[in-house]
Amino acid sequence: MTDVNPSMSATPARPTLLTVICILSFIMGAWGIFSGFQNLVVDQTVALDKARVEMEQARADLGEQASGLPGKMLDSAMDLAEKTAANATPIGISTIVLSLISLFGVWQMWNLRKNGFWLYVLSSVAGLATTVYFLGGSMVAILSVGFAGFFSLVFIILYAVNLKHMH
């Protein structure tokens, strides 16, 4: 007679931390796809005109301070809005493609496959690089890349900690 222990399954259990960060990554990947499609279908001239009006209002609200650092930040933000509008289609396509690669990598890590980690790292680094490529090195663009890069690094580290549970 063979004893079968149901608690001794063939597939190892996914750690809770890995489950949580995968779910968060699934949500962000879906948001990336939505954002990419939005870049493709939204009329960028309307968005740019709206940004110009908001920047001029902010500049008027600043008064004399508009000539200092706050004014430079507004100029940088307007430059970013113009570059985003000019490159909306390639930004949208790259966002969709990189989000799909990221989602595939996360799905593999969800299934405890190590190669998903490298796809996730590739898509994260490529996402930061394409942002710099299309939006340039303005102050606001660099701050944006730094902010996104920080969270990408945190997630990469959290996934790397869980590599020992993957095969």
Question: Residue 63 falls within a domain, yes or no?
Answer: yes
Question: Residue 95 falls within a domain, yes or no?
Answer: yes
Question: Residue 25 falls within a domain, yes or no?
Answer: yes
Q: Of 29, 16, 15, 23, which is closest to residue 104 (Cα–Cα)?
A: 29
Question: Residue 49 falls within a domain, yes or no?
Answer: yes
Over residues 135-147, mean pLDDT = 92
Question: Residue 15 falls within a domain, yes or no?
Answer: no
The pTM for the full model equals 0.85
**Which residue is associated with the tokens 């222990």?**
5
Q: Flag whether pLDDT at 100 surpasses 60.
A: yes
Return the H-helix or E-strand segment holding 121.
helix 115-135
The answer to whether the CB of 134 falls within 8 A of the CB of 85 is no
pLDDT by residue (tens digit) across 126-139? 999 999 999 998 88
DSSP 8-state code for residue 11? S
Question: Residue 161 falls within a domain, yes or no?
Answer: yes
- Could you list the residue range(s) of the whole structural domain that residue 105 is in? 21-165
Q: Of 144, 25, 27, which is closest to residue 84 (Cα–Cα)?
A: 144
Query: What total number of domains does the chain contain?
Result: 1
Question: Residue 4 falls within a domain, yes or no?
Answer: no
Question: Residue 10 falls within a domain, yes or no?
Answer: no
Q: Flag whether pLDDT at 101 surpasses 80.
A: yes
Q: pLDDT exceeding 70 applies to what percent of the chain?
A: 93
